[in-house]
Structure 1
Amino acid sequence: MTALALDIGATKFAAGLVDPHYRVHEVRQVAAATDDPWATCRDLLLAVAGDNRVRSIGIGSAGPVDVRAGVTRPLNLAAWRDGFAIVDHVRALFPDAEVRFAIDGACLVLAEHRVGGLRGVDNGLALTVSSGVGGGIIADGRVVVGRTGNAGHIGHIVVPGDDTPCPCGGFGCVEAVASGMSSVRWARSRGWMGSNGLELAAAAHAGDAIAVAAMARAGTALGQAVSSAAALLDVDRVVISGGFAQSGQPLWGPLRAAVARHCGLEFVRGLRVELSRLSDGATLVGAGVLAVDGGGQVSSA
């Protein structure tokens, strides 16, 4: 019998088969269709499952979510923004399987705690910085899920000195300032001609002034958000994953400078902030942990 993991992101879906050691195999990835995301998701799951008898499925989804209802409402996926009953649809597709569901940030921190940079850490924070900004919390060795399953949603911490509109309806959220997509939009509005976060990082490494400023803006905002969260939660380590987090010194220099500037209290002084070893696949790994053993204290729909 087989465990299956599904990662529902803002721009792509990924799925794979999971072994008892939380290793994910046969990974497939597709762009998230804007007109019919469920058809895309369904075809992906069926292709990955193949002829295997699926016994359990772990789903990690961009948020917000309602874990108890099994509903996802990704801000950056317009077709599902008003709510999509992902758990019911997946159960109908695999009626003999147990389906477990969590926000992507909870899956992210679960993966880091089991096999990544937070292994052996009882109080930590995991972030992903890619097309959006998400996060999850480990407190006293347990994943914090909150009332609806959205705890750890660090992307909507408001950073000082910025009033950029956010899809959530607020202003100055770190996701609106520091994600790859947001940073590209900011740079293009100032005359930069590239099209994605990889190009923006490369341009910053090459010394392009607009790209350097965009990366510094993002890194500073991330450092401010990390510092605020660390003081609130009393954590001793932060691990950051995601494609945009791979941008190197143009992002990490300003990020570390902001952390050093804002972490003045004794209990957060010297906070360890590290790049994840799991890179951009951490959420899928965490969904795999959900599928294999439920993730301990992570809620199930």
Structure 2
Amino acid sequence: MPTPLVVAVDFGGTKVEAALVDTDGRLIEGSRHRRPTGRTAKIPDLEASVGGVVRDTIAALPAGAELVGVGIGCAGPIDRILGLVSPLNVPHWRDYPLRDFIAGVIADAGLDIPVTLEMDGVAITMAEHWVGAAQGVDNVMGMVISTGIGGGLIVGGRVITGPTGNAGHIGHVEVGDIIGDDTFGNPSALEAMASGPHTVSWARRQGFTGTTGEDLAAAYAAGDPVARAAIGRTGEAVGRAIASATALLDLELVAIGGGFSHATPDLFDHMRAVIAAHYFPYVRKVRIVPSALSSEGPLIGAAALVHRAHLLP
């Protein structure tokens, strides 16, 4: 029998990636491709990047394999019914028909396979539940802390998407008196204060001279007091959001990935301190752990939309 593979696509605020993924959640060597996205990219640029990585990935199909579907994880918000996306950090895509665009690329390649779109937080949560840090746990939130902050939910062993596909979008819950940037018209949203760029933005207002999350991580490691305050502030904000989600959903585990989540292991300590101080014992029980999947998690999750479709509503 031919080996069934999925074209996995992960679209985010700085890049789009695609790769072939097998039924064990493994990326096929040589099939992973990446192109830029970003706040300044126009529709033709974005289409060129998305179409390019999908075509390059299809071209890497090994002998003895067949494509059984396409899974797309995209930064939110989305409309899972109509296949539309409006990623907040890519302002030139608003209600863009990403599912239909990729379906067209697939058809142009002579293929007739299903195309599934979900929010990237749903995809990463499914990846952690499948082959990552949340294996065997049926009440889970997956999170990504990077250019933006996304999330997804599995409750009672089933993926929760909501009618529009945006359930679990924890980056846009409000976290009280910690105030961030007004990028989204709501400086109280978690993403406005705790994403990588917004953490750096706060630090720069306090006198930090670096410009990237990597700069901030290096300064933190060197003992810079502003960098340490920035990481502590972000960890507290994320911890508050996790505490609220756990109070609502009785979560057992939260698995966190994304580039900025690797800034320092101390970031997790700050989150856990918030949880440990909570007044409800059932909130204090939630475990917060790093993703076990490194940078491959979003692609594995996109493939899970096809390989593990039985978990979706």
Q: Does the pair score TM above 0.5?
A: yes
**Which amino acid counterpart does residue 45 of structure 1 have in structure 2?**
V
TM-score (norm 2): 0.90
1:43 aligns with 2:28: no
Measured at CA, do residues 3 and 267 of structure 1 come closer, stay the same or move farther in structure 2, by a change above 3 Å?
same
SS in 1 for 2:282: coil
Whether contact under 8 Å (2:127, 2:297) holds in the other structure is yes
Q: 1:4–1:17: 8 Å Cα contact kept in structure 2?
A: yes
CA distance in 2, matches of 1:113, 1:2: 19
What does residue 5 of structure 1 align with? 8
User: Is the 8 Å Cα contact of residues 268 and 288 (structure 2) preserved in structure 1?
Assistant: no
What letter is aligned with 1:260?
A
- 8 A Cα contact 2:181 2:198, kept in partner: no
Could you tell me which of 89, 98, 105 is aligned with 1:93?
105
Higher relative contact order by CA 8 Å / sep ≥ 6: 1 or 2? 1
Aligned mates of 1:50, 1:90 — CA distance in 2: 15
Shift of 1:277: 1.0
Question: Contact 1:106/1:145 (CA < 8 Å) preserved in 2?
Answer: yes
Instruction: Indicate the residue corresponding to 2:32 in structure 1.
Output: 27
How far did 1:50 drift? Answer: 0.5
1:231 CA displacement:
0.8
- Which of 273, 284, 301 is residue 299 of structure 2 equivalent to? 284
CA contact 2:277–2:284 (8 Å) conserved in 1: no
Give the Cα–Cα distance (whole angstroms) in 1 for the partners of residues 165 and 100 of structure 2.
Answer: 17
Instruction: Tell me, yes or no, if the aligned pair for 1:239 and 1:275 is still in contact at 8 Å.
Output: yes
Matches within 5 A, 1:1-301: 2-25=5-28, 26-32=31-37, 34-35=41-42, 36-50=45-59, 52=61, 54-80=67-93, 82-95=94-107, 96-262=112-278, 264-294=279-309, 296-299=310-313
- How much has 1:51 moved relative to structure 2? 6.1
Taking the aligned partners of 2:136 and 2:268, their CA distance within structure 1 comes to: 25
State the number of aligned residues: 296
What's the offset of the Cα at 1:44? 1.1
Q: Is the 8 A contact 2:180 2:202 kept in 1?
A: no
Q: What SS does the aligned partner of 1:244 have?
A: helix
Deviation for aligned residue 1:279: 2.3
Q: 1:245-282 CA deviation, whole Å, 9 max, x = no partner? A: 112244223222112122x2122223211111112332
| Matches of 2:308 and 2:149, distance apart in 1 | 26
Q: Distance in 1 between matches of 2:5 and 2:161?
A: 26
What displacement does 1:162 show?
2.3
Q: How big is the shift at 1:164? A: 2.4
2:135 counterpart SS class = coil
**Structure 1, unaligned stretches of length 5 or more?**
none
Contact 1:4–1:291 (Cα < 8 Å) also in 2: no
Stretch of structure 1 that moved more, 238-247 or 144-153 = 238-247
Residues 127 and 293 (structure 1), Cα distance of their counterparts in 2 relative to 1, 3 Å cut: closer
SS state at 2:76 partner:
coil
Q: TM-score, normalised by structure 1?
A: 0.94
Q: Distance in 2 between matches of 1:269 and 1:259?
A: 5
Offset, 1:94: 1.0
**1:159–1:51 CA distance, 2 compared to 1 (3 A):** closer
| Displacement of 1:30 | 1.8
* Per-residue CA distance 1:138-171 (angstroms, 9 max, x = gap): 1000010001000000001111212324433222
- Deviation string, structure 1 residues 177-217 (Cα, Å, up to 9, x no partner): 11111111111222211121122012111111111111111
The code of the aligned residue for 1:20 comes to T
Percent identical across equivalent pairs?
38
Contact kept in structure 1, 2:78 and 2:119, CA below 8 Å:
yes
